[in-house]
Amino acid sequence: MFVFSVILCDNAPDRDHERFTVGALHKLAELFVGKTGIFDHAASAKNQAARIFAAEVECDDSQQTAAGEPYHRLKARAYMPKTAGNAELIAEIDAGIKKEVSVSCAVASVTCSVCGAVLKGGQCEHLPGRTYVIDGQNRLCHRVLDDPTDAYEWSFVAVPAQPGAGVTKGFDADVTEKLQKTTSQMILSAAEAAGLRDYISELETFKAAGELYQAELRSEVKRLCALSLPEFDPAVVTRIAAGMTMAELISLKSGLLAGVEERFPLLPQLATGEDANAQEENGDFLI
C-alpha cells in the first residue's frame, strides 16, 4: 500500500469566500473516514484513486485566519494499492505534481460572517469578498459553513477553492522536523503516531537484515583471514572484526579476497597441460 497525508480543508476564508467553522471541521473528520478520492469531482467508479482511513483536526495557534481565528485544518491519511495502474499517479504524488485537492460535502448551516443572517434559502445585503466596517473594525464578508450533514468525496484538482488544501509530505518528514525542534515534550497526532509506529517497524526490519548481513561479513572475514594470513590468531581476528563498521568489513573482505586469490589461484578443471608430447590423445581432458 502507498500511504500519504492530505489536507482536505481548513477554517480560513477560501477563493469562493466561504469558510468552515472549527466545529464543522471536527464533524467532517468523522464523515470523511472511508470516503474515496477521485479526480475533478467526476463521480465515476473508474475515477476512484484512493481512500481515507483516518482524519483529525490540527490547530496551529501561531497562525491566524483572515477571520481572526487560530488556524485549524482537517488532515487525513489516505491509501492506495501499489499496482501497475497506480504507478504513474504514485510517482506524480511523490513528485508533488498531483497535490491540490478539493472536498465535496453538504452542510445544514450557511450564515453571513458580517451580520449572521441565515443564507440557506435567503440572502442579505452584504456581498462576499467585500470588506465592511462594523463597530469601527474591518470585517471581510464571507459565508460561514457549519453543521455538516454528509461528506461525498475529495478530488485531485488543478485549482482548489482552499489554497491550503492538498497532499502533504510523508509523516516521517513532519515528525522528524518536530523531533529536531523540540526541547522537551512533543505531542503527535493519532495519524502521525500510527505512521511513526509503521516507520519504526520498517526500520526494525531493515536493522535485523543489516545485523544478519554484518554477522555474515564477520564470518567471511575470519574465513578469508585464515586462508590468506594463517599466522594470525583467530581469536584476535574475531575481536578486531567485532569492532568494525559495515563499510570497514566490506573493505577488509575485498582486500583479503584479493590476497586469497593470489595465494590460491583458481585453475579451471579442464585446463590443458604444457606437455605437448602427451602419450594419450585427449589425456589432458580426462577427469
Are residues 208 and 110 part of one domain?
Answer: no
Q: Which three cell numbers stand for residue 171?
A: 509523516
pLDDT at residue 2 in the model: 85
Are residues 257 and 160 part of one domain?
Answer: no
AA letter at 277: N
According to DSSP, residue 138 is labeled E
Are residues 110 and 41 part of one domain?
Answer: yes
Expressed in angstroms, the distance from the first to the final Cα of the chain is 55
Are residues 43 and 152 part of one domain?
Answer: yes
Q: What distance in Å separates the CA atoms of residue 15 and residue 128, rounded to the nearest whole number?
A: 10
Q: Report how far apart, in Å, the C-alpha atoms of 82 and of each of 59, 123, 182, 208, 228 are.
A: 32, 48, 34, 25, 48
**Total Cβ atoms within 10 A of residue 270:** 9
Are residues 111 and 35 part of one domain?
Answer: yes
Are residues 161 and 26 part of one domain?
Answer: yes
pLDDT (tens digit per residue) in 76-92: 998 888 888 888 888 88
Q: Is residue 186 a part of any domain in this protein?
A: no
pLDDT (tens digit per residue) in 18-76: 999 999 999 999 999 999 888 877 776 677 888 899 999 998 888 888 888 899 999 99
Q: Is residue 212 a part of any domain in this protein?
A: yes
Buried b (16+ CB within 10 A) or exposed e, 85-118: eeeebbeebeeeebbbbbbebebebbbbbbeeee
Q: Is residue 268 a part of any domain in this protein?
A: no
As a 3-state breakdown, the chain gives helix, strand, coil percent values, each rounded to 5, of 35, 30, 35
Q: What distance in Å separates the CA atoms of residue 174 and residue 190, rounded to the nearest whole number?
A: 13
pLDDT at residue 61 in the model: 82
Are residues 126 and 32 part of one domain?
Answer: yes
DSSP string, 54-109: EEEEEEEEEEE-TTSSEEEEEEEEEEE---TTTHHHHHHHHHTSS-BEEEEEEEEE
**pLDDT per residue rounded down to tens, the chain (287 residues):** 888 888 999 998 888 889 999 999 999 999 999 998 888 777 766 778 888 999 999 988 888 888 888 999 999 998 888 888 888 888 888 878 888 888 889 999 999 988 888 887 778 888 888 888 878 888 889 999 999 999 998 888 877 777 777 776 444 445 566 666 666 666 666 666 766 777 777 777 778 878 888 888 888 888 888 888 888 788 888 888 888 888 888 888 888 888 777 777 766 666 555 554 555 555 555 55
Q: Which domain holds residue 201?
A: 197-263
Sort 125 into a burial class: Cβ within 10 Å, 0-12 / 13-18 / 19+. exposed
Are residues 220 and 164 part of one domain?
Answer: no
Are residues 133 and 27 part of one domain?
Answer: yes
Distance from the Cα of residue 148 to its chain's centroid: 29
What is the number of structural domains in the chain?
Answer: 2
Q: Is residue 286 a part of any domain in this protein?
A: no
Are residues 231 and 153 part of one domain?
Answer: no
Are residues 212 and 160 part of one domain?
Answer: no
